Structure 1
């Protein structure tokens, strides 16, 4: 049972996420020999205020 965790900045639409799910599932089926039903994709939407790069947050702190 492959579990794919996708962490990204919040704001992607359900349609965008569905396209990712479709592509990731197809890739695992093609390259790993698993069934589509066994592929789990979990999205973690992270607010810019909770994500930092190079010592600086991407967005202002939550109020």
Structure 2
């Protein structure tokens, strides 16, 4: 059976890695604030990396960005709004 995976997730004998690696899907969670151009550039670079290192077609790569407002994202007990305000002092 071409392109099949074993129960462990490893390719079965007689199948190539390219056959089994069909559609990598990447989800990126980040704070809002980057431009569309920055996000598109990042997604292009990630796509190129997957093509180079995983040997998949660019057409098979799916990338989704989930953005959170700065008030809805926290690090070290402070929202990103609070961190930004402190950095500006």
> Structure 1-normalised TM-score?
0.85
- Structure with larger Rg: 2
Bigger share in strand: 1
Q: Which has the higher contact order (CA 8 A, sep 6+)?
A: 1
Q: Which of structure 1's runs of 4+ aligned residues deviate more than 2 A?
A: none
Structure 1 gaps of 5+ residues are none
Matching of residue 42 in structure 1 with residue 82 in structure 2: no
Structure 2 gaps of 5+ residues are 1-22, 83-89
> Structure 2-normalised TM-score?
0.63
Q: How many pairs align?
A: 60
